[in-house]
Amino acid sequence: MLGYLTSLAKAPEEADVDAMLEMRPTFVRQLELIDLSEEDRFRAV
């Protein structure tokens, strides 16, 4: 699905992504429920 949305923001720092995954907001828990791989969850954040 690459190319549908063009990102205007810079990529987040890895530490920021790790912190978001650690907080487990609702969308991350939903991704876990559908057994999305850790790499895909990282990319989703």
d(CA 3, CA 20) in angstroms, rounded, equals 25
Global pTM? 0.73
* pLDDT at residue number 5: 79
pLDDT digits (tens, 9 = 90+) for 7-44: 788 989 999 999 999 999 999 999 999 999 999 999 99
* 3-state class percentages of the chain: helix first, strand second, coil last, to nearest 5: 55, 0, 45
Q: Is 35 helix (H, G, I), strand (E, B) or coil?
A: coil
Distance CA 6, CA 18 (A): 23
pLDDT for res 32? 96
1 has a pLDDT exceeding 60: no
Q: How confident is the model at residue 2 (pLDDT cuts 50, 70, 90)?
A: low
Per-residue confidence (pLDDT) for residue 6, from 0 to 100: 82
